[in-house]
């Protein structure tokens, strides 16, 4: 995504993260149009700053950096609503220490994790046969007992475990790719 000529990577980023940012803003009681505006502003800031983003375990994860940008834009929005003026931020402010704290940080983490899992599930599903996906869904998503799933689907219990294992392996790879490697 850091390559400015890679439109496909940027479009993928927008498809993945726009709904997350928008829904997070809405969960913070921001009106739909304002949430859409904030989402666009966050994407603009990310686009401008991503080239200089450097992963450092000391500074936090990509999701923390993105959370900081989102929080800053929400703060700017709230300041603008209160005073009727725009609160300006420097580009470097968005690159400073990224971590999130308190209830807001927990809410962001919750939204981020659930969103990434949902996107990963959507992207992983077409890679498997219908029966494999059904076994996985019942055993892992619905958390049914493997023996019960096997009996219900008329397959061996080992087939349930294999399906669950295969899908989870791919799902973990996709979650990892979506959550952290999207910036590389």
4 and 85 assigned to the same domain: yes
Q: In this structure, is residue 122 part of a structural domain?
A: no
Could you tell me where the DSSP H helices lie in 125-182?
130-136, 146-153, 157-179
Give the up-direction half-sphere exposure of residue 121: CA atoms within 13 A in the CB hemisphere: 13
| Residue of 158, 172, 173, 168 whose CA lies nearest to 133 | 168
158 and 81 assigned to the same domain: no
pLDDT > 60? residue 183: no
Higher local confidence (pLDDT), 178 or 56: 178
Domain range spanning residue 32? 1-113
Q: Which residues pair with 60 in a beta bridge?
A: 56
36 and 101 assigned to the same domain: yes
87 and 12 assigned to the same domain: yes
pTM of the model: 0.76
- Which residues contact residue 68 at a Cβ distance below 8 angstroms, ignoring those fewer than 6 apart? 94, 96, 97, 98, 99, 100
* Range with the poorest average pLDDT among 78-87, 128-137, 161-170: 78-87
Q: Tens digits of per-residue pLDDT, 154-179?
A: 999 999 999 999 999 999 999 988 88
Q: In this structure, is residue 171 part of a structural domain?
A: yes
First and final CA of the chain: distance in angstroms?
Answer: 6
Q: In this structure, is residue 121 part of a structural domain?
A: no
Q: Tens digits of per-residue pLDDT, 63-80?
A: 888 999 999 999 998 887
pLDDT band at residue 98 using 50, 70 and 90 as cut-offs: very low
Domains: count for the chain: 2
98 and 135 assigned to the same domain: no
pLDDT band at residue 92 using 50, 70 and 90 as cut-offs: very low
Q: At which of 113, 141, 176 does a domain end? A: 113
Q: In this structure, is residue 123 part of a structural domain?
A: no
């Amino acid at each position: 995504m850091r390559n400015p000529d890679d439109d496909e990577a940027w479009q993928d980023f927008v498809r993945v993260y726009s709904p997350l940012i928008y829904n997070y803003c809405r969960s913070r009681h921001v009106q739909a149009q304002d949430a859409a505006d904030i989402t666009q502003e966050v994407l603009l800031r990310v686009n401008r700053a991503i080239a200089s983003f450097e992963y450092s375990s000391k500074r936090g994860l990509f999701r923390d950096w993105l959370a900081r940008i989102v929080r800053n834009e929400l703060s700017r929005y709230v300041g603008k609503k209160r005073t009727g003026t725009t609160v300006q931020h420097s580009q470097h402010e968005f690159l400073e220490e990224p971590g999130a704290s308190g209830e807001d940080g927990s809410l962001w983490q919750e939204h981020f994790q659930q969103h990434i899992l949902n996107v990963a599930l959507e992207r992983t599903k077409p890679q498997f046969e219908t029966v494999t996906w059904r076994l996985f869904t019942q055993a892992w998503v619905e958390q049914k007992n493997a023996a019960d799933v096997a009996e219900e689907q008329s397959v061996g219990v080992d087939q349930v475990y294999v399906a669950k294992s295969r899908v989870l392996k791919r799902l973990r790879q996709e979650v990892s790719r979506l959550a952290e490697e999207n910036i590389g």
